[in-house]
Chains A and B, each alone.
Chain A
């Protein structure tokens, strides 16, 4: 049987297989190389001092506590703002909208938003929130910029989850005399919670990794802000990514930069794992019913 395949075909196939294997190996080596290198250079520099101090010339301390807190603030504030909007939009698209053309238009707009690069978001955020609304470079301006940026993610994941809610649920609820909003609140929303959670995780991933959109909107300050200060206008602060950029590019302090990079990698891994877990749950639900 095997002899019927000519030698040249065999050689060609083997060669192609080897090339594909090589491509795959190169990609894995790149990943391992990046992760290994960052951990090797950065892990040793992560000390308790580093993550519990703020940088101060007077005291001679270095630290990234302000950047950690700023990142957290931005995540919380962005999610609080974007969740209702994104979930609301998904509900409109899936439950309320009747005109196909309108749905098409909105989906086109969402796709456009998700294709816009973050530097443009940064610039437009600066124009709108920093200058036009006059919030100054502040964490709130940064968060508002990220709200626009993460909106498509939340809409998409929620919508995907809404599509898995069986129509019988909706019909049953309506047949019992529930209004549309009552039906959405009591039947549809509870069943799409996993999509919302997935959207949150993906958004957090995007926010943690974001730098260009924050550079001109959230600013570069390294002060520790109190829990009630961060949503006030004019409170600027740099996130971990922006701090990494400043330490590496502007100041050449690579030890701190690599420590931040290692922390970011750990966060990336954690978010990746969580999103995979959420996707598995979503799939199970989708096939289970």
Chain B
């Protein structure tokens, strides 16, 4: 009896250990597969040509594989989404954490969480039907599916992460800070902006990093509103992101084109890893 129990104990211990290391295994597996399938094309095309080539013409008779347009589009699109989304989300977070009565805050927070749960294709659909025609008419363009529309959709999509993480960070600031500031004669609003927000800085930075991660990785919604042509980015031109480059050509690609798409994914993955690294450093700094 004792031996059987001991055997079961050991087996379960091993099983749990395996489960525990599964996440590590998955990360290694994903990295491995991306590197192995992404590197050959980079080698074939040449890393300088690949990363800094300005022309992507994968199906032309003399194909050219330069992904600079995708990289820049992703960077500009994310930057634009951050510029619009972060101030909006941050102000809202401050407002519901410190200024409004509690039940209003809870209601708005619920709305924000709901916004975060909406599937990206629904954002894409609404963007396609509402934003794209709106942009076309307002700016008098032949087609409204461009970088600007994508930035608007992305800005809305990053709002939930920005609001919820910033709000949590702002709420976590010790009450004494606020009381001390109020006692010194600062108004509530001054206290919030000059004492509480600086104290919650690292949480707010985390929320921005999450927003960057979300917007640089978004594929489907962006694909539906950005027009999907491999132009060098410009606000009112149809553009293609790193993510949409992978998604749009994968289904019919072959040969070097297909390999090059894996390389694009590898570049995207590296971007995400860098953002995660920065995020981790920020969080670590905060803990210290």
- Chain A interface residues (CB < 8 Å from chain B): 4-5, 9, 12-13, 16-17, 19-21, 23-24, 26-28, 30-31, 34-35, 37-38, 41, 84-89, 91-93, 95-97, 102, 105-106, 108-113, 115-120, 122-124, 126-128, 132, 148, 151-152, 155, 179-182, 184, 205, 208-212, 215-216, 241-242, 244-245, 248-249, 254, 257-258, 261, 264-265, 268-269, 271-272, 276
Asked if B250 is at the interface of the complex by the 8 Å CB criterion, the answer is: yes
A128 to chain B, nearest CB (A): 6
B122 to chain A, nearest CB (A): 5
Q: Determine the distance from Cα of A4 to Cα of B187 in the docked complex, in whole angstroms.
A: 11
Contacts A27-B163, A92-B20, A205-B117; A20 near B27 (Cβ below 8 A): no
| 15 residue pairs from A and B, CB less than 8 Å apart | A9-B187, A30-B159, A108-B280, A115-B275, A115-B276, A116-B217, A120-B268, A123-B265, A127-B33, A127-B262, A182-B9, A208-B119, A211-B119, A244-B122, A268-B118
Contacts of B96 in A (CB 8 A): 24
Q: Which residue of A lies closest to B126 (CB)?
A: A34
Q: Are A13 and B87 in contact (CB under 8 A)?
A: no
Contacts of B60 in A (CB 8 A): none
Segment of B47-55, B108-116, B168-176 in the binding face: B108-116
Contacts of A128 in B (CB 8 A): 29, 33
Identify A152's interface contact among B23, B188, B193, B269, CB under 8 A: B23
Q: Are B125 and A115 in contact (CB under 8 A)?
A: no
Asked if B17 is at the interface of the complex by the 8 Å CB criterion, the answer is: yes
Contacts A26-B92, A89-B22, A212-B243 aside, 13 further interface pairs with beta carbons under 8 A come to: A13-B188, A31-B112, A31-B114, A34-B126, A88-B16, A96-B20, A117-B272, A118-B219, A119-B268, A123-B265, A126-B250, A181-B13, A261-B121
Q: Determine the distance from Cα of A249 to Cα of B111 in the docked complex, in whole angstroms.
A: 28
Contacts of B18 in A (CB 8 A): 88
Q: Determine the distance from Cα of A102 to Cα of B24 in the docked complex, in whole angstroms.
A: 10
Contacts of A38 in B (CB 8 A): 122, 125-126
Q: Determine the distance from Cα of A249 to Cα of B122 in the docked complex, in whole angstroms.
A: 12
Identify A13's interface contact among B13, B100, B120, B187, CB under 8 A: B187
Contacts of B144 in A (CB 8 A): none
Bits for B199-226, please: 1 = Cβ < 8 Å to A, else 0. 0000000000000011011111001100
A166 to chain B, nearest CB (A): 21
How many inter-chain contacts with C-beta < 8 Å in the A-B complex? 252
Contacts of B5 in A (CB 8 A): 179, 182
Q: Are A117 and B250 in contact (CB under 8 A)?
A: no
Contacts of B279 in A (CB 8 A): 115
Q: Determine the distance from Cα of A13 to Cα of B34 in the docked complex, in whole angstroms.
A: 52
Contacts of B250 in A (CB 8 A): 123, 126, 216
Q: Are A264 and B16 in contact (CB under 8 A)?
A: no
Q: Are B23 and A34 in contact (CB under 8 A)?
A: no
Contacts A112-B276, A268-B117; A31 near B125 (Cβ below 8 A): no
Asked if B129 is at the interface of the complex by the 8 Å CB criterion, the answer is: yes
Bits for B225-264, please: 1 = Cβ < 8 Å to A, else 0. 0000000000000000001001100110000000000100
Q: Are B119 and A264 in contact (CB under 8 A)?
A: yes
Q: Which residue of A lies closest to B209 (CB)?
A: A115
Asked if B8 is at the interface of the complex by the 8 Å CB criterion, the answer is: yes
Contacts of A268 in B (CB 8 A): 114, 117-119
Q: CB within 8 Å of A: which of B1-59?
A: 5-6, 8-9, 12-13, 15-24, 26-27, 29-30, 33-34, 37
Q: Determine the distance from Cα of A243 to Cα of B246 in the docked complex, in whole angstroms.
A: 19
Contacts of A123 in B (CB 8 A): 34, 246, 250, 262, 265
Q: Which residue of A lies closest to B90 (CB)?
A: A23
Contacts of A5 in B (CB 8 A): 187
Identify B120's interface contact among A26, A85, A148, A211, CB under 8 A: A211
Asked if B273 is at the interface of the complex by the 8 Å CB criterion, the answer is: yes
Q: Are A37 and B247 in contact (CB under 8 A)?
A: no
Q: Determine the distance from Cα of A122 to Cα of B27 in the docked complex, in whole angstroms.
A: 14
Q: Which residue of A lies closest to B273 (CB)?
A: A112
B242 to chain A, nearest CB (A): 9
A165 to chain B, nearest CB (A): 16
Interface core residue of A5, A24, A210 (most chain B CB under 10 Å): A24
Contacts A16-B189, A37-B126, A151-B23; A120 near B30 (Cβ below 8 A): yes
Contacts A30-B115, A128-B29; A181 near B125 (Cβ below 8 A): no
Q: Determine the distance from Cα of A5 to Cα of B18 in the docked complex, in whole angstroms.
A: 64
Asked if B95 is at the interface of the complex by the 8 Å CB criterion, the answer is: yes
Asked if B156 is at the interface of the complex by the 8 Å CB criterion, the answer is: yes
Interface core residue of B87, B119, B268 (most chain A CB under 10 Å): B119
Asked if B154 is at the interface of the complex by the 8 Å CB criterion, the answer is: no
Contacts of A180 in B (CB 8 A): 9, 12-13
Interface core residue of B17, B24, B113 (most chain A CB under 10 Å): B24
A148 to chain B, nearest CB (A): 5
Q: Are A216 and B129 in contact (CB under 8 A)?
A: no
